[in-house]
Structure 1
Amino acid sequence: MTLGTHRLRVLRHARFRRFLLGQTTSLLGSGMNTIATTFAVLRLPDGGVNAVGGVMAARILAVLVVLLLGGVFTDRLGARTVMLAADALRFGSQAVLALLLLTGSARIWEVVALAVLLGVGEGGFMPGLSALVPGLVPEGELASANALLGMARPVATIVGPGLAGLLVAAFDAGTVVAVDAVSYGVSVVALVGLPVVRAQAPGLGLFSELGRGWREFTSRTWLWVTTLHIGLFNFLLWAPFLVLGPSIAEQRLGGARAWGLVLALEGIGAIVGGVLLLGRNPRRGLTWSVAASVGWAVPVAALAMGLPLAWVAGAAFFAGIGAAVCTTLAATVIQRDIPAEVRGRISAFDSLGAFALGPLGLALAGPVSGVVGAERLLGFGVLWQVTAVGVVLAVPSVRRHGATPQVAARVAVH
């Protein structure tokens, strides 16, 4: 597929290229980190499978706890400042962990504490993405910018774990964690060269600022309805898929290699979806975003129906395309239609609502499937997702969104 130069014109902006490079490097390091940390914990004298779960849970909980604070400080101090601090914290936590692992002195409580710091950095970083990008590219190129940033994640998801596995085998887990620390350092350097974006939020107290962000969030029906939609999707469909999929693959699809193929094709689909969005600026972005979210139901339906690997993998590829369209256009809509002075808090509430139920879904999928059966649980998730997409698209504020131009407050770039 040949891309015309007009489809890549967003890359002519040097500041965006700088940020894209830093973000891609950071994501690649993160893609390597999960494998490295897992093997490191398994090999610790006081480690093991339960310890791996504890480390992962500590990181996720830290992200969820800090998200709202990250949104407040993003609006108060500017996205670049908060993201710099967050990446510096992530760099420091991984550098210390690498040192402990390489010297053979790491203990599980130290790994958990550093995982918490890593999660704090992630929770602080996430709200800034929505606030920073509009200051790097013109409004008409936001969708292309978000598409390229979105493509970086599946690339890292595909390449990172494989590269980590090779490095762990050739060296050790500490070396891979050190590489992850360096990737955050690259992101810090990239952020230093970006403009300071000030939303000029009033100097209110923390709870007052959170309250205003909540009122802004709930006052937009299209926003909280779509956030709830994604939150329930993660709880009822995607969490069971991630938990039960490997087990089903082990039973009848060919094991870990087959499941790896399914996830890889989903990532490749996401890259293709991002490419398809380059150079495009759809008016009804919210409608297309919600409609594309039905794609996630396809591979789950293939598993529930007992289809062979080729069908499941092809369905995952289709889901990846839908995922790219959904997430890219949703991010673009928020950047265009939310006033700059509350964009960080809105993004934080949106992310929290979308992912808060995910850990609960992961925890419940196994026990519930033991009662009702894996295929029935997956089939219920498919039915829910298809129905929910139709219901959400019928909501007037969602259906009509983008029919007329909306004006959001501009950011001041210094």
Structure 2
Amino acid sequence: MNRLLRDARFRRILLGDAVSSLGDSMLFLSLAVWTKNLTGSDAAAGLVFLCLNAPGLLAPLLGHVVDRVSRKKLLMGMMAAMAVIVLALLVVRTAQDVWIIYLVAFCYGVLFSTPVFDALLKDLLPARDAAPARSLLVTVQQGLRIVSPAVGVGIYLAFGGWVLAVVDAATFLIAIACLASVKIVESEPEPAAPLRQSLTAGARHLRQLPLLGRLTLMCVIFMAGAGLLESSTFAAIEQGLGFEAAYFSVIMMLQGGGSILGGLLSGRLVTGLGEARASALGYLVCGAGVLLFQVPYWPGYTLGTVLFGAGMPLIFVALGTAQQLYAPARLQGRLGAAIGMLTNGAQTVSNAVGAAIVGFVDFRVTFGIIALAMLTGCVGVLVRPPAVPEIVSSVADSPEPQAAA
């Protein structure tokens, strides 16, 4: 991490990502609150999150585009477009203008479903820096998410959504300036293949590399369990702990604190233990945290929340590191799209199931199912662990292009 922080290029990438993440996190919750205030409808507010998630269905096509063009120019172009699109919120005044909020949310979903940033890291960072870099990125993102939603809602309530839109547009411009200042030697696109073959290349790579496929499968199981957590948490707070629902914000802050700790440690652990054992440790820590949710006293629940937050970065840093190390540079987009579609799809379905069953299934039963999913991930990674494949080098591992950069 110290070596990375001394690298001016990575510092600028980290700053740009942090500023952009801050603007994104401030806006998301505020869009739903804004829609609720305009329409008075919970369903209308919920459609904001549907618009954010729906573009994930386009992930294979977006991944194909990422692997065919300059990733840096694509990312800068998408952020520039979002800086303009988000300003459409300036004309929102009444319930008849809610479609503009939905449009902005959908465009945000397209940006987040395009795995261009992860693909760019393959050409930016040598293999030795894959885990520490992702560790730093996760740590900063989780730290910002502790305060950014509250700051965003505070700006919205104090000054209105129009001010928040301008602030968010400014964060995109800062991120673009940071990225533009970084010289990156990008890998050349491979010869064009038939579209159908190209769209399925990421999924085929998962099948061909048992380690990467196993890590992805266990992460899908993890996300399927984690998706039940959100609905059950409110029931646990009110029925188990006897607190008001507003305590959920405290839970999120505690989880974020645990994620910062886990993020700081994850780079070293993934490098030292390897992706499989590090992710198994992450599942074990998350599972132990969920088991503590069964304790109807706030000290046990608090400790469980911190443990759950600390375990998550290990899981995602291990999977992201394996993706970067064991796939060619010009497959990163399609591979990231395949992994994202599987994991996000599992979480979306799980969220719907959790909302449907929370009214008649005791939260302790749900927590038991979630803990079982976490422990399944731990065992599933460790039992007959697949062989570690050879690292696929990129232009970032070649001294000449990096000297030019």
Give your verdict on TM over 0.5: yes
Residue pair 2:60, 2:199 contacting (<8 A) in 1 also? yes
Q: Give the Cα separation in 2 of the matches to 1:18 and 1:152.
A: 13
Offset of 1:26 from its aligned partner? 0.8
Q: Give the Cα separation in 1 of the matches to 2:96 and 2:19.
A: 26
Q: Select 1:36's aligned residue among 30, 35, 39.
A: 30
- CA change 1:296–1:396 in 2 (3 A) is closer
Q: Select 2:152's aligned residue among 150, 154, 164.
A: 164
- CA change 1:67–1:152 in 2 (3 A) is farther
Residue pair 1:10, 1:137 contacting (<8 A) in 2 also? no
Q: Would you say 1:111 and 2:101 are equivalent positions?
A: yes
Residue pair 2:187, 2:395 contacting (<8 A) in 1 also? yes
Q: Select 1:288's aligned residue among 278, 296, 301.
A: 278
Q: Give the Cα separation in 2 of the matches to 1:137 and 1:366.
A: 41
Give the equivalent residue in structure 1 for 2:14.
20
Residue pair 1:226, 1:290 contacting (<8 A) in 2 also? no
Offset of 1:169 from its aligned partner? 2.9
Q: Select 1:138's aligned residue among 126, 136, 161.
A: 126
Q: Would you say 1:10 and 2:4 are equivalent positions?
A: yes
Q: Which residue identity lines up with residue 58 of structure 2 in the other structure? A: V
Q: Would you say 1:55 and 2:42 are equivalent positions?
A: no
- CA change 1:374–1:357 in 2 (3 A) is same
Gaps spanning 5+ residues in structure 2: where?
Answer: none
Q: Give the Cα separation in 1 of the matches to 2:157 and 2:51.
A: 26
Q: Which residue identity lines up with residue 39 of structure 1 in the other structure? A: V
Offset of 1:283 from its aligned partner? 5.2
SS of the residue aligned with 1:77?
coil
Q: Would you say 1:100 and 2:91 are equivalent positions?
A: yes
Q: Would you say 1:326 and 2:320 are equivalent positions?
A: no
Q: Give the Cα separation in 1 of the matches to 2:382 and 2:22.
A: 35
Offset of 1:231 from its aligned partner? 1.4
Q: Which residue identity lines up with residue 339 of structure 1 in the other structure? A: P
Q: Select 1:70's aligned residue among 56, 62, 69.
A: 62
Q: Give the Cα separation in 2 of the matches to 1:294 and 1:89.
A: 41
- CA change 1:395–1:177 in 2 (3 A) is farther
Offset of 1:22 from its aligned partner? 0.6
- CA change 1:192–1:69 in 2 (3 A) is farther
Q: Give the Cα separation in 2 of the matches to 1:43 and 1:340.
A: 45
SS of the residue aligned with 2:272?
coil
Q: Give the Cα separation in 2 of the matches to 1:383 and 1:168.
A: 40
Q: Would you say 1:84 and 2:58 are equivalent positions?
A: no
Residue pair 1:250, 1:256 contacting (<8 A) in 2 also? yes
Offset of 1:15 from its aligned partner? 1.4
Q: Give the Cα separation in 2 of the matches to 1:105 and 1:93.
A: 19
Q: Which residue identity lines up with residue 408 of structure 1 in the other structure? A: V
- CA change 1:218–1:78 in 2 (3 A) is farther
Q: Would you say 1:315 and 2:308 are equivalent positions?
A: no
Q: Which residue identity lines up with residue 79 of structure 2 in the other structure? A: D
Gaps spanning 5+ residues in structure 1: where?
Answer: 1-6
Q: Give the Cα separation in 1 of the matches to 2:370 and 2:103.
A: 35
Deviations 1:235-291 (A, max 9, x none): 2x2111111102321334322343222221111111112222456732522321233
Give the equivalent residue in structure 1 for 2:327.
338
SS of the residue aligned with 1:154?
helix
Q: Give the Cα separation in 2 of the matches to 1:47 and 1:190.
A: 40
Identity %: 23
Residue pair 1:167, 1:176 contacting (<8 A) in 2 also? yes
Q: Give the Cα separation in 1 of the matches to 2:284 and 2:266.
A: 18
What does 1:172-251 align with in structure 2 at a 5 Å threshold? 172-194=160-182, 195-235=184-224, 237-251=225-239
Q: Which residue identity lines up with residue 323 of structure 1 in the other structure? A: M
Deviations 1:204-230 (A, max 9, x none): 233221133332222112222221221
Q: Give the Cα separation in 1 of the matches to 2:340 and 2:41.
A: 31
- Normalised by the length of structure 2, the TM-score is 0.90
- Normalised by the length of structure 1, the TM-score is 0.88
Task: Tell me how large the CA RMSD over aligned residues is.
Answer: 2.2
- CA change 1:261–1:105 in 2 (3 A) is closer
Q: Give the Cα separation in 2 of the matches to 1:211 and 1:240.
A: 29
